[in-house]
């Protein structure tokens, strides 16, 4: 199972949209990321200088004053007790350095945190669950899961503003190339914003320990060109596909307990506990970014979710082969 | 050497004049500091949750200011001072009387707390689980009451052993430490009373 | 009216130890109130827990050596990192604080025992009880997903993950109660240290003449006294939530998930200073002796450690930069966190200045101190990086933080503790530790430690979050994790050298004598090991280096201080 997932994962390259799997915080692609990198590089610069000076002094001291074998042991070196001027110097200089760093921090903190959403901003509500992400677009009436589509804009004119909360425990939203992290906390709404400059698939992990499968709660921000984004929203706004070819399969699905947890808009399946499945096939991955969304994985997942994600909250429904085939073929019709 | 004699003389003088604080005093003071840190956290939790309960009962509906109990507890700080003075004067009779009064005042306080809780639980249906008010009320008042119980236990030990003839005058120092603890417990009640009763009922 | 209230002086003890039966010997250890025996028991317990938690860390690194590895599953892994962290902080770090304090302080201030010897014993046994209760969870507990096991909520146990709804079994309760009990032990020991230091110093030892070790451990005790109660409060609240249905952290009832974080970190940040202070204390004794010079800038060092003791109480929310506090709060805590780095830096400068102009004896204790200086410098600077809140927004909860705190706690504290153990082993046991084995221990451990933790900084830069039991290939994390895992091998080898050194030297080591290092503080003025009554006659001192004064009567310290 894992071997298959591994190989398949390496092949997740939907044509035309590269997955940016190396998430280097020093190669950001959006404004908060740029601001944070600025603060970061400045701080690294200052601390690097301090390190070179102080470490150099330590190493020099050890080298110069180590006892040589030729040295006779009786004579003690001059007993120096201290020096007020030196103490003052190495107190005041660090305090000055600290004030500079405080200034830099204050400026960037205010810039990122106090930025208010411009009128054209896209609003997304991200709700954390154990161990998947619920994604809502209140202005469009769209609900999906684990993959957030946003428009990419070369000069950041159309940013995305996220409202973050959780239904259970604390999670954290972190797409390293786009912005620093913000926690998703139950009974509290936090705010974050991103503005990816280049289209692509930006990957991130949940960044706050949230239980057994914290490690496999991945998140993808898919930055589309404005045209692709429009197409995507229009497609997502439609109710679920009602393909007559799978009407039997749909009935089988409807008779199983799946409908209690999953919402498929336009059908009697209205559960809210699990991810929305209305347009499942429009997603690249399954199980919070853990499996490629292909037939083999989908079948294996529905058959026994505990194999790919032991401890996750979706039970194996113990379907027989026939039911499994029907369910999978119905799900695959939900484009 | 002459210098040795100077050093030796210095040392003798230093030994004779060397005065350090009493370890019991330091012990009780820092015990009070650490207990203060503990109480501060529960008080902080209470403060941030004032007015935040999602459902009733609310303080205005069910709380009554425990004036008599408060007066009793704070007076017991006074009576324990009288007891200590009596002990210092070696007046064991007066000591026993004032000490007993202190105990009775403290017992009344505990009784009043128990009665209040009984009413809240059985008549008003407010438990620690009901809402944020219940949680903060019972935990903070309970934390304080548990400290009163500990203090009371030691007060009783002193009283009972004295009644049975133990020469309590030899333990004046330890009685003093116990009374400091008792003062601490009493005056923490002022803070608890303010945060639990006065702020929700009179201010917010 | 102040009076000195010592336990009575023992008459001069018999020179030869009479034979005791096994049960008599056991009784003497179990019933002891002698600060030296209790100190030794603290340190030995801490070392045992160090090995246990180190094995856990090795399994963690084995699992993370390769992507999608199968050494352990998610639940086991989550228990491992929870127990590793909890053990290292509460069952290794805290007993080392206590053990070093209670063993050395009475000797260094020239008295016979702690202020409250029975309270000392109580503190030890309740610490051990708490530790055993925590480990009993392996048999008795139930984790996030069911049956009998250790807690798996992280050592920081964030709510609401720890609420009954998400942690159904008893594992979290074992965590809360075990640590609560050990915390009580720490608090009473801190009380004891403060009372001892203020009330039991020998004649002539004013506070300004106290050894630096004692100063640092005094401030440490102050921090324990004010920082442990918030943790206890949080744990009491958690247990009330879990078992009486209270709503402190119950977000459904309007409770705050963030309240736990505030309470925990009001404890947690001072805690890390509590943990590092023994290393500061040890360095302040070892570096002067091995440089053959007094500690440079004693008043500044006292001032710096006192400043840390107060500023560190106001930095806690730098652990919470990502929870959505206002920009004012974030800026305030960024500022205070950077400010606390200043006194810490001053200490590094003063230790270096102590070595400057000296005659450095490059033996094992000093080697560990030098490594400390360089590694703690790195740790402090990565700490400054984390204090810059916008940078922290990227680094928080990533492997950069893991690397940072292992640099402070292993590269700092553990190296400092090793320096102290090599320095005082002769005093405690009467035998010298083997110098060659010591150097093997040092180099193996130093190389392994840096292999593991220097590399992990870069995993953080590449976006690797913490507390994940596995990761996918192609993220750029593979090589880093492999190198980090390989670093376990030299570290384990180094620890084996150390354990072997202790065993061998206890049995066949060179006799040490009273003062093998030619040192200057009072513990070296008595035999190795010291008799039960410490000193035949309580000393009278005139400076902060009483033995220097005795050895150099023409040039005593009290002429210059």
Q: Name the residue among C440, C366, C380 with its Cα closest to residue C411.
A: C380
Q: Which residue of A has its CA nearest to C79?
A: A212
For position C17, what pLDDT does the model report?
54
Does A186 sit within 8 Å of C388, measured CB to CB? Answer: no
Positive/negative CA dihedral, B55, B61, B67, B72: negative
Q: Give the number of domains in chain A.
A: 3
The 3-state secondary structure of C449-501, one letter per residue: HHHHHHHHHHHHHCCCECCCCCCCCCCCCHHHHHHHHHCHHHHHHHHHHHHHH
Residue C6: band (very low, low, confident or very high) from pLDDT cuts 50, 70, 90? very low
Residue A118: band (very low, low, confident or very high) from pLDDT cuts 50, 70, 90? confident
Of A98, A181, A310, the CB nearest to C339: A98
Residue B13 lies in a domain: no
Contacts of A328 (CB under 8 A, 6+ apart): A295, A298, A299, A302
What value does the mean pLDDT take over residues B87-98? Answer: 94
List chain C residues with CB under 8 Å of B46: none
How far is Cα C346 from Cα A87, in angstroms, rounded to an integer? 8
Residue with tokens 């360095």: C283
Residue B8 lies in a domain: no
Residues of chain C above pLDDT 70, percent: 95
Look up the CATH number of the domain holding residue A184: 2.60.40.420
Look up the CATH number of the domain holding residue B125: 1.20.120.80
CB atoms inside a 10 Å sphere around CB A111: 17
Residue B115 lies in a domain: yes
For the cut 80, the answer to whether the pLDDT of residue A4 exceeds it is no
Alpha carbon C485 to its chain centroid, in Å, reads 24
Residue B99 lies in a domain: yes
How far is Cα C400 from Cα C462, in angstroms, rounded to an integer? 9
Alpha carbon B118 to its chain centroid, in Å, reads 23
**ipTM of this predicted complex?**
0.94
Positive/negative CA dihedral, B142, B144, B150, B152: negative
Residue C270 lies in a domain: yes
What value does the mean pLDDT take over residues A312-319? Answer: 92
For position A2, what pLDDT does the model report?
44
Residue C350 lies in a domain: yes
Q: What is the mean pLDDT of chain A?
A: 91
Of C341, C350, C390, the CB nearest to A180: C390
Residue A26 lies in a domain: no
List chain C residues with CB under 8 Å of A54: 345, 348-349, 352, 377
Angle A217-A218-A222 from CA coordinates, rounded to 5°: 150
List chain C residues with CB under 8 Å of A55: 374, 377
Among B15-19, B145-149, C313-317, C427-431, name the one with the lowest average pLDDT. B15-19
Most confident range, picked from B1-15, C131-145, C430-444 = C430-444
For position A71, what pLDDT does the model report?
77
Q: Which one has a higher pLDDT value, C104 or C142?
A: C104
CB atoms inside a 10 Å sphere around CB C433: 24
What value does the mean pLDDT take over residues C369-393? Answer: 97
List chain A residues with CB under 8 Å of C387: 101, 105
Of C187, C195, C553, the CB nearest to B34: C187
Distances (CA, A) of A62 to C234, C362, C369: 46, 9, 11
Q: Give the number of domains in chain B.
A: 1
Q: Give the number of domains in chain C.
A: 1
For the cut 60, the answer to whether the pLDDT of residue C345 exceeds it is yes
**CB contacts < 8 A (A, C):** 303
Range of the domain at B148: 24-203
- Give strand pairing partners of A135: A126, A144
How far is Cα A89 from Cα C320, in angstroms, rounded to an integer? 33
Residue/partner pairs of C402-407 with CB below 8 Å, 24 or more apart: C402/C453, C402/C456, C402/C460, C402/C466, C403/C453, C403/C454, C403/C456, C403/C457, C403/C459, C403/C460, C404/C379, C404/C457, C405/C272, C405/C379, C406/C449, C406/C452, C406/C453, C406/C456, C407/C375, C407/C376, C407/C378, C407/C379, C407/C382, C407/C453
List chain C residues with CB under 8 Å of B188: none
Residue C28 lies in a domain: no
**How much helix, strand and coil, in percent to the nearest 5, is found in chain A?**
40, 20, 40
Does C254 sit within 8 Å of B52, measured CB to CB? Answer: yes
What value does the mean pLDDT take over residues C517-536? Answer: 94
What value does the mean pLDDT take over residues C452-472? Answer: 96
- Give strand pairing partners of A125: A136, A163
Contacts of A178 (CB under 8 A, 6+ apart): A28, A29, A30, A32, A33, A194, A195, A196, A202, A221
Q: What is the mean pLDDT of chain C?
A: 93
For position B3, what pLDDT does the model report?
56
Give the pLDDT confidence of B128-161 residue by residue, as tens digits: 999 999 999 999 999 999 999 999 999 999 999 9
Of C396, C468, C472, the CB nearest to A214: C468
Helix (H) or strand (E) holding C289: helix C257-291
What value does the mean pLDDT take over residues C322-333? Answer: 95
Whether a cis peptide bond, with omega within 30° of 0, leads into C266 is: no
Residues 228-267 in C contacting A (C-alpha not used; CB under 8 Å)? 251-252, 254-258
CB atoms inside a 10 Å sphere around CB C63: 22
Lookup: tokens for A58: 């330590």
Domain end: A237, A267, A285, which one?
A237
Residue C8 lies in a domain: no
Helix (H) or strand (E) holding A163: strand A160-166
Range of the domain at A59: 31-70+78-113
Among B47-61, C394-408, C439-453, name the one with the lowest average pLDDT. B47-61
Of A179, A186, A215, the CB nearest to C471: A215
Residue C14: band (very low, low, confident or very high) from pLDDT cuts 50, 70, 90? very low
Angle C495-C501-C502 from CA coordinates, rounded to 5°: 95
Residue B5: band (very low, low, confident or very high) from pLDDT cuts 50, 70, 90? low
C374, with CB counted inside 10 A (0-12, 13-18, 19+), is buried
For the cut 90, the answer to whether the pLDDT of residue A17 exceeds it is no
Helix (H) or strand (E) holding B81: helix B67-88
Q: Name the residue among C143, C339, C159, C382 with its Cα closest to residue C262.
A: C159
What value does the mean pLDDT take over residues C308-312? Answer: 96
C260 touching B, CB under 8 A?
no
Encode burial over C199-212: b for 16+ CB neighbours within 10 A, e otherwise.
Answer: bbbbbbbeeebbbb
Residues of chain A above pLDDT 90, percent: 80
What value does the mean pLDDT take over residues A50-78? Answer: 91
C257 touching B, CB under 8 A?
no
What value does the mean pLDDT take over residues A252-267? Answer: 92
C468, with CB counted inside 10 A (0-12, 13-18, 19+), is buried
Residue C80 lies in a domain: yes
Are A163 and A214 in the same domain? Answer: yes
What value does the mean pLDDT take over residues C510-518? Answer: 94
Residue B4: band (very low, low, confident or very high) from pLDDT cuts 50, 70, 90? low
How far is Cα C538 from Cα A202, in angstroms, rounded to an integer? 71
What value does the mean pLDDT take over residues A162-172? Answer: 96
Positive/negative CA dihedral, C236, C237, C242, C243: positive
For the cut 60, the answer to whether the pLDDT of residue C8 exceeds it is no
Give the pLDDT confidence of B39-63 residue by residue, as tens digits: 999 999 999 999 999 998 999 999 9
For position A6, what pLDDT does the model report?
45
What value does the mean pLDDT take over residues C137-149? Answer: 65
For position B17, what pLDDT does the model report?
84
Residue with tokens 């660090």: A94
Does C70 sit within 8 Å of A87, measured CB to CB? Answer: no
Residue C463 lies in a domain: yes
- Give strand pairing partners of A221: A148, A202
Residue B121: band (very low, low, confident or very high) from pLDDT cuts 50, 70, 90? very high
Residue A3: band (very low, low, confident or very high) from pLDDT cuts 50, 70, 90? very low
Does B135 sit within 8 Å of C263, measured CB to CB? Answer: no
What is the distance in angstroms between the Cα of C560 and the nearest Cα belonging to chain A? 8
CB atoms inside a 10 Å sphere around CB C224: 28
Residue C147: band (very low, low, confident or very high) from pLDDT cuts 50, 70, 90? low
Give the pLDDT confidence of C148-202 residue by residue, as tens digits: 579 999 999 999 999 999 988 888 999 999 999 999 999 999 999 999 999 999 9
Residue B152 lies in a domain: yes
Are A141 and A91 in the same domain? Answer: no
Q: What is the mean pLDDT of chain B?
A: 92
Does B23 sit within 8 Å of C5, measured CB to CB? Answer: yes
For position B203, what pLDDT does the model report?
80
Look up the CATH number of the domain holding residue C197: 1.20.210.10
Mutate to test the interface with C, among B4, B13, B34, B47 (most CBs of C within 10 A): B34
**Are the CB atoms for B45 and B146 separated by under 8 Å?**
no
User: What does pTM read for this prediction?
Assistant: 0.94
Residue A24 lies in a domain: no
Range of the domain at C513: 39-559
What is the distance in angstroms between the Cα of C136 and the nearest Cα belonging to chain A? 21
For position C140, what pLDDT does the model report?
74
Q: Which residue of B has its CA nearest to C227?
A: B37
List chain A residues with CB under 8 Å of C557: 79
Residue C31 lies in a domain: no
Of B15, B41, B53, the CB nearest to C230: B41
How far is Cα A41 from Cα C461, in angstroms, rounded to an integer? 12
């Amino acid at each position: 199972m894992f071997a298959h997932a591994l190989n398949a994962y390496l092949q997740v390259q939907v044509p035309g949209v590269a997955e940016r799997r190396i998430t280097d915080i020093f190669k950001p692609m959006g404004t908060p990321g740029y601001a944070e990198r600025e603060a970061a590089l400045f701080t690294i610069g200052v601390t690097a200088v301090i390190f070179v000076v102080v470490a150099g002094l330590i190493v020099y001291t050890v080298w110069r004053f180590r006892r040589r074998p030729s040295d006779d042991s009786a004579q003690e070196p001059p007993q120096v007790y201290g020096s007020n001027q030196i103490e003052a110097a190495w107190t005041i200089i660090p305090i000055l350095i600290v004030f500079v760093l405080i200034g830099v921090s204050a400026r960037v903190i205010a810039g990122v945190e106090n930025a208010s959403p411009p009128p054209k901003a896209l609003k997304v509500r991200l709700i954390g669950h154990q161990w998947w992400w619920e994604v809502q677009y209140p202005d469009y009436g769209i609900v999906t899961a684990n993959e957030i589509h946003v428009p990419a804009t070369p000069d950041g004119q159309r940013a995305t503003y996220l409202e973050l909360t959780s239904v259970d425990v604390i999670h954290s939203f972190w797409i390293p190339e786009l912005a620093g992290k913000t926690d998703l906390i139950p009974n509290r709404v936090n705010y974050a914003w991103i503005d990816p400059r280049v289209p692509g698939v930006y990957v991130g992990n949940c960044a706050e320990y949230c239980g057994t499968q914290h490690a496999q709660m991945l998140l993808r921000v898919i930055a589309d060109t404005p045209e692709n984004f429009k197409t995507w929203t229009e497609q997502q706004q439609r109710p679920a596909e009602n393909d007559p070819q799978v009407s039997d399969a749909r009935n089988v699905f409807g008779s199983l307990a799946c409908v209690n947890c999953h919402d498929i808009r336009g059908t009697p399946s209205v559960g809210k506990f699990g991810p929305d499945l209305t347009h499942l096939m429009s997603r690249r991955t399954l199980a919070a970014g853990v499996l490629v969304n292909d037939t083999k994985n989908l079948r294996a997942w529905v058959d026994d979710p505990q194999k790919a994600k032991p401890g996750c909250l979706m039970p194996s429904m113990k379907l027989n082969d026939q039911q499994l085939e029907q369910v999978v073929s119905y799900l695959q019709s939900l484009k | 050497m002459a210098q040795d004699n100077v050093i030796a003389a210095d040392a003798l003088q230093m030994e004779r004049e060397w005065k350090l604080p009493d370890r019991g005093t330091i012990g009780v003071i820092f015990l009070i500091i650490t207990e203060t840190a503990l109480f501060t956290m529960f008080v902080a939790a209470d403060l941030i949750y004032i007015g935040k309960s999602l459902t009733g009962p609310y303080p205005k509906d069910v709380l009554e200011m425990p004036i008599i109990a408060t007066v009793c507890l704070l007076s017991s700080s006074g009576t324990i001072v009288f007891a200590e003075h009596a002990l210092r004067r070696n007046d064991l009779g007066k000591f026993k009387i004032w000490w007993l009064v202190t105990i009775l005042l403290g017992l009344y306080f505990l009784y009043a707390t128990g009665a209040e809780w009984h009413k809240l639980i059985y008549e008003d249906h407010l438990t620690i689980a009901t809402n944020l008010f219940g949680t903060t009320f019972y935990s903070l008042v309970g934390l304080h009451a548990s400290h009163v119980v500990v203090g009371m236990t030691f007060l009783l030990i002193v009283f009972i052993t004295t009644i049975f003839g133990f020469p309590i005058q030899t333990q004046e120092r330890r009685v003093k430490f116990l009374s400091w603890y008792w003062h601490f417990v009493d005056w923490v009640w002022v803070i608890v009373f303010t945060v639990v009763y006065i702020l929700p009922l009179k201010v917010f | 009216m102040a009076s000195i209230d010592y336990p009575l002086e023992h008459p001069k003890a018999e020179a030869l130890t009479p034979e005791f039966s096994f049960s008599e010997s056991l009784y003497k250890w179990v019933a002891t109130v002698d600060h030296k025996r209790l100190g030794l028991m603290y340190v030995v317990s801490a070392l045992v827990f160090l090995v246990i938690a180190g094995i856990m860390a090795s399994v963690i690194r084995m699992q993370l050596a390769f992507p999608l590895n199968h050494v352990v599953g998610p639940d086991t892994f989550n228990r491992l990192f929870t127990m590793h962290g909890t053990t290292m902080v509460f069952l290794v770090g805290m007993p080392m604080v206590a053990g070093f304090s209670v063993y050395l302080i009475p000797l260094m201030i020239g008295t016979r025992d702690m202020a409250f010897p029975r309270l000392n014993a109580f503190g030890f046994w309740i610490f051990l009880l708490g530790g055993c209760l925590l480990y009993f969870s392996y048999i008795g507990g139930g984790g996030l997903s069911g049956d009998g096991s250790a807690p798996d909520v992280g050592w920081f146990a964030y709510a609401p993950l720890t609420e009954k709804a998400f942690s159904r079994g008893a594992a979290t309760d074992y965590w809360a109660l075990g640590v609560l009990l050990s915390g009580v032990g720490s608090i009473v020991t801190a009380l004891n240290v403060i009372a001892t230091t203020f009330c039991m110093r020998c004649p002539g030892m004013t506070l300004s003449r106290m050894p630096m070790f004692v100063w640092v451990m005094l401030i440490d005790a102050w921090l324990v006294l004010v920082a442990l109660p918030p943790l206890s409060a949080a744990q009491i609240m958690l247990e009330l939530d879990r078992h009486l249905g209270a709503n402190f952290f119950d977000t459904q009832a309007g409770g705050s998930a963030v309240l736990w974080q505030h309470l925990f970190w009001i404890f947690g940040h001072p805690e890390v200073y509590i943990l590092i202070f023994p290393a500061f204390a040890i360095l302040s004794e070892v570096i002067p002796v091995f440089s053959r010079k007094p500690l440079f800038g004693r008043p500044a060092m006292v001032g710096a450690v006192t400043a840390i003791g107060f500023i560190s109480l106001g930095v806690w929310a730098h652990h919470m930069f990502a929870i959505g506090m206002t920009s004012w709060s974030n800026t305030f805590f960024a500022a205070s966190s950077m400010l606390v780095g200043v006194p810490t830096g001053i200490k590094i400068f003063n230790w270096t200045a102590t070595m400057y102009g000296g005659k450095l004896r490059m033996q094992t204790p000093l080697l560990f101190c030098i490594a400390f200086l360089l590694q703690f410098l790195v740790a402090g600077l990565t700490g400054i990086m984390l204090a810059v809140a916008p940078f922290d927004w990227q680094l928080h909860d990533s492997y950069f933080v893991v690397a940072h705190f292992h640099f402070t706690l292993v590269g700092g504290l553990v190296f400092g503790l090793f320096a102290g153990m090599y320095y005082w082993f002769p005093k405690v046991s009467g035998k010298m530790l083997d110098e060659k084995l010591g150097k093997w221990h040092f180099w193996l451990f130093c190389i392994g430690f840096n292999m593991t933790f220097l590399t992990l900084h870069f995993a953080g830069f590449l976006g690797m979050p913490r507390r994940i039991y596995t990761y996918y290939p192609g993220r750029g994390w593979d090589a880093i994790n492999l190198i980090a895992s390989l670093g376990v091998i030299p570290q384990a080898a180094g620890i084996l050298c150390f354990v072997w050194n202790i065993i061998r030297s206890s049995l066949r080591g060179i006799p040490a004598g009273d003062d093998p290092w030619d040192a200057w503080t009072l513990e070296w003025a008595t035999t190795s090991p010291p008799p039960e009554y410490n000193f035949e006659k309580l000393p009278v001192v005139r400076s902060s280096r009483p033995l220097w004064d005795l050895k150099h009567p023409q040039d005593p310290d009290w002429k210059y201080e």
